[in-house]
């Protein structure tokens, strides 16, 4: 068995990740196992050349099916068909190389997406990064607000400094002041030594306050003073500490509404909301779902079987039709689960935990049937978007709860595990 170019490749192919492997002799099982491991890495598209009789060996058939783009039997009946195959392989290698570059960019803090909403975000980030003003990033949970904050930091003059993130909603109220501002030795029971808080730890860099809307009202005054004076007081401290930090805050809460209900200080809101950036929900990012799904598949494919190639057409249709209440975070989790659980060569809707959507031949539907289909689809989407809350789902549809219950029963949705039962919380 040997590598053999067989024929000079056209100039456009000789520098690309395309290879030809020729099998000349009886297969060796251990050699084939090692070959499978080597071919599992990298983005080279391989084309196999082999005598037809070697295809009688199950191990040869398996490795060609799982690891090769295509194969040709020997003797060749000419090089034209081989060169056509290599051209197709070149195209696939180019696509994969582009996806890998996209994945590497996202892994290093770059955002992925081509929808109008995401392009607006990507155009805004460099302008925001060049200033030192506070930034408020809004958007639903799971849309990537921290990734935006990191992107701003990495493009700013503070990129050489630390990026310190703290989730204001994940720390108990009795500890958050010490976490943010630090404490002196002996400030309280158990404070055996001085501790630097998160704000001070971000000196010269960026402080990311995630879910700032969950910050207790009694601590908002301390944060406001820090933003105004650029100083902090450690718990138990006697002297203020000067801190040079840029603040980026994020929240899924409507802070303007929180101000109106006296849950958030108006003066703090205006201090944080100097520059505003909104992250669109995944369902609003037309065309990005497929790009992101393939991107996360490339990142996590090593966790699954080597023969797994990607998504089936029905899986992609299910991804595009789903409302994604958990946004990008949910997409990551579903793709990762599918990679582990899939048993075929392509990921299907069931592997993603999504319903299989039958192809609807709309040209064959009567007007009444089309209305029924649209009605059921609207109800399903509302129930997925407002899980556990019939009242909100009904308001979103512009109907009463009684009417929504009737539609759920009409379309037989009460028994579906992924939708809210008829007896759910109203």
Is residue 418 in some structural domain? no
Of 413, 349, 326, 415, the residue nearest 375 (C-alpha): 413
- Six-digit token string for 390: 């019939």
Domain of 71?
2-106
Question: Are 62 and 76 found together in one domain?
Answer: yes
Each residue's pLDDT tens digit in the chain (426 positions)? 333 333 333 333 334 467 888 887 777 777 777 776 666 555 677 888 888 888 888 888 888 877 787 888 888 877 777 877 787 777 666 655 544 444 334 433 458 888 888 889 989 999 999 999 999 999 999 999 999 999 999 999 999 999 999 998 888 777 788 888 887 876 676 666 778 888 889 999 999 999 999 888 888 988 898 899 888 888 877 788 899 999 999 999 999 999 999 999 999 999 999 999 999 999 998 889 998 998 888 888 777 777 788 898 888 888 988 989 999 999 999 999 998 888 888 888 888 988 765 544 444 556 776 777 788 888 888 887 887 788 888 888 888 888 888 888 777 675 443 343 333 333
Is residue 204 in some structural domain? yes
Compute CA distances 291 → 111, 112, 283, 357, whole Å: 12, 8, 13, 20
Compute CA distances 71 → 21, 23, 96, 115, whole Å: 9, 11, 20, 38
SS3 174: helix
Question: Are 125 and 271 found together in one domain?
Answer: yes
- Six-digit token string for 292: 């992101």
Question: Are 322 and 388 found together in one domain?
Answer: no
Q: What crossing angle do the helices spanning 401-410 and 367-385 adopt, rounded to 10°?
A: 120
Q: What crossing angle do the helices spanning 80-107 and 288-300 adopt, rounded to 10°?
A: 90
Is residue 422 in some structural domain? no
Compute CA distances 45 → 41, 70, 96, 410, whole Å: 11, 9, 10, 51
> Residue 21's domain is classified under what CATH number?
3.40.50
Measured in Å, how far apart are the chain's first and last C-alpha atoms? 68
Residue length of the chain: 426
Question: Are 276 and 288 found together in one domain?
Answer: no
* pLDDT for position 39: 66
SS3 384: helix
The conformation of residue 284, written as its DSSP 8-state character, comes to G
* pLDDT for position 192: 66
Query: What distance in Å separates the CA atoms of residue 100 and residue 323, rounded to the nearest whole number?
Result: 27
Question: Are 153 and 126 found together in one domain?
Answer: yes
Run of H or E including 116: helix 116-129
CB 250 within 8 A of CB 238: no
Query: What distance in Å separates the CA atoms of residue 245 and residue 399, rounded to the nearest whole number?
Result: 49
Compute CA distances 235 → 28, 142, 166, 187, 195, whole Å: 70, 33, 18, 6, 10
* pLDDT for position 91: 66
Question: Are 273 and 133 found together in one domain?
Answer: yes
* pLDDT for position 377: 80
Of 108, 86, 112, 87, the residue nearest 99 (C-alpha): 112
Question: Are 372 and 224 found together in one domain?
Answer: no
Question: Are 132 and 244 found together in one domain?
Answer: yes
Question: Are 309 and 201 found together in one domain?
Answer: no
CA 226 from centre of chain: 34
Is residue 419 in some structural domain? no
Question: Are 227 and 368 found together in one domain?
Answer: no
What residue has token string 């983005």? 43
């Amino acid at each position: 068995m040997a590598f053999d170019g067989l024929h000079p490749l056209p100039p456009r192919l000789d520098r690309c990740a395309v290879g030809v492997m020729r099998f000349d002799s009886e297969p060796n099982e251990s050699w084939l196992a090692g070959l499978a491991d080597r071919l599992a890495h990298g983005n080279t598209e391989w084309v196999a050349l082999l005598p037809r009789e070697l295809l009688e060996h199950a191990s040869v058939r398996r490795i060609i099916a799982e690891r090769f783009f295509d194969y040709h039997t020997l003797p060749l009946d000419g090089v034209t068909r081989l060169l056509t195959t290599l051209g197709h392989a070149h195209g696939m290698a180019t696509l994969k190389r582009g996806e890998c570059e996209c994945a590497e960019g996202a892994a290093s803090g770059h955002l992925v997406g081509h929808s109008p909403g995401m392009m607006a975000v990507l155009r805004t980030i460099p302008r925001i990064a060049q200033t030192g003003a506070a930034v408020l990033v809004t958007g639903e949970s799971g849309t990537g607000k921290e990734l935006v904050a990191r992107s701003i930091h990495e493009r700013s003059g503070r990129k050489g400094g630390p990026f310190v993130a703290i989730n204001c909603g994940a720390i108990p109220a009795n500890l958050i002041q010490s976490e943010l501002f630090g404490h002196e030795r002996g400030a309280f029971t158990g404070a055996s030594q001085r501790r630097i808080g998160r704000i001070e730890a971000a000196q010269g860099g960026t402080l990311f306050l995630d879910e700032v809307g969950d910050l207790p009202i009694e601590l908002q005054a301390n944060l406001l003073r820090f933003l105004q004076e650029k100083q902090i007081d450690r718990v138990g401290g006697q002297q203020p500490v000067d801190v040079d930090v840029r603040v980026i805050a994020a929240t899924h809460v409507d802070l303007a509404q929180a101000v109106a209900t006296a849950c958030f200080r108006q003066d703090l809101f205006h201090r944080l909301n100097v520059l505003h950036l909104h992250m669109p929900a995944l369902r609003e990012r037309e065309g990005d779902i497929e790009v992101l799904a393939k991107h996360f598949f490339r990142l996590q494919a090593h966790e699954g079987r080597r023969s797994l190639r990607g998504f089936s057409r029905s899986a992609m249709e299910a991804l595009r039709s789903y409302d994604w209440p958990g946004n990008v975070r949910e997409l990551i989790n579903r793709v990762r689960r599918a990679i582990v659980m899939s048993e075929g060569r392509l990921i299907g809707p069931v592997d993603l935990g999504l319903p299989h959507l039958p192809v609807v031949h709309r040209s064959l539907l009567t007007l009444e049937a089309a209305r029924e289909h649209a009605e059921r689809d609207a109800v399903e989407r509302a129930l997925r978007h407002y899980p556990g809350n019939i009242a909100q789902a009904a308001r979103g549809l512009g109907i009463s709860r009684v009417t929504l219950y009737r539609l759920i029963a009409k379309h037989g949705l009460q028994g579906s595990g992924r939708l809210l039962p008829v007896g759910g919380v109203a």
